[in-house]
């Protein structure tokens, strides 16, 4: 629905600053841009996605939700091709997209602090 949209979310442990967390995220994104993920790690992720998609077909409410999302995107047949798209992803595709998307000028950062955290 939102080409190029990538959301990173996290909750900080006690004593970790927003700044140090952001630096850690930026380091990881830079590594991804420079080095494609190992094929074994990508395969683990593909297996997890496949498992989630297959098990999601067991609940009628999830099937209905997936059909609604596909309809919103303009093509209900997308529910039948989603897994194939994930399985075609290569490590180099991830690295190439990381270079395209993960640029400082594309970034919007929002910090939420709990009432306990000052």
Q: What confidence tens digit (pLDDT) does each residue in 66-99 have? A: 999 999 999 999 999 999 999 999 999 999 999 9
User: What's the whole-number average pLDDT of the chain?
Assistant: 91
Confidence (pTM):
0.76
Domain ranges of the chain: 16-36+91-112, 38-89
CA distances from 88 to 5, 16, 107, 110 (A): 20, 37, 27, 33
26-64, pLDDT tens digit by residue?
Answer: 999 999 999 999 999 999 999 999 999 999 889 999 999
pLDDT at 117 > cutoff 90: no
């Amino acid at each position: 629905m939102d080409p190029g949209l990538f959301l990173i979310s996290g909750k900080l442990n006690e004593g970790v600053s927003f700044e140090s967390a952001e630096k850690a995220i930026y380091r990881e994104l830079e590594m991804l841009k420079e080095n494609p993920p190992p094929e074994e790690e990508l395969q683990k992720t593909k297996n997890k996605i496949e498992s989630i998609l297959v098990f999601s077909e067991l609940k009628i409410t999830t099937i209905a939700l997936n059909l609604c999302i596909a309809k919103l995107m303009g093509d209900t047949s997308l529910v039948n091709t989603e897994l194939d798209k994930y399985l075609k992803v290569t490590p180099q595709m991830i690295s190439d997209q990381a270079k395209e998307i993960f640029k400082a000028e594309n970034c919007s950062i929002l910090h939420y602090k709990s009432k306990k955290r000052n």
